[in-house]
Amino acid sequence: MKNLIFIFSLLLLVSCGGKTIEEPAAKRDFEKEVIEEKPFSNPVLIYGSDFGNFFKVLYAQGRFDEMLKFTSKTSIDKFGKDAILDFYKNDLKFGYEIGKPHSQTKSGDTITLNYNANIIATKRVVRISVLVENDTCKVVLTNNLNDFLK
């Protein structure tokens, strides 16, 4: 009899132990909508990475047109699409590791991400300024294109 009670108790525990309490569907759907609608709105968290490393991957893959899509309207208006594409293709040097942003500053709508980088055996701080336009982070280029990421 004790064995029968033990087996019954064990079966009851096993059958109840695998059940989980699910969140209401409305909450799951809302969170899914927020993630799907605004995946590029936080410069520090873009699909598990950050804007600087995301932009660096685009550069490393030669996706210059995509880089242009993630360039702010003010920068495009200032320099023009052709000049920026030429800069990204021929003059930008972004083939070094930047790690995760160690700090950020905010001035108005512009967020500056600060990265520690090791460029040609020299430790440097690299700053990438971004702003959010239409729920998407976009890079803000410096007044002189050649000073960007230097």
Q: pLDDT value at position 1? A: 56
With 80 as the cut, is the pLDDT of residue 92 above it? yes
Contacts of 84 (CB under 8 A, 6+ apart): 68, 71, 75, 76, 141, 145
With 70 as the cut, is the pLDDT of residue 131 above it? yes
Residue ranges of alpha helices (H) inside 18-89 are 25-37, 51-60, 64-69, 73-79, 81-86
Q: What is the mean pLDDT of residues 10-16?
A: 50
Domains and CATH numbers, the chain: 24-147 (3.10.450.50)
- Chain segment 14-69, per-residue pLDDT in tens: 455 544 445 555 445 544 444 445 656 555 666 678 889 989 999 999 999 999 99
Selection from 115, 117, 137, 138 nearest residue 127 by Cα: 115
With 70 as the cut, is the pLDDT of residue 136 above it? yes
Looking at residue 67, its amino acid is: M
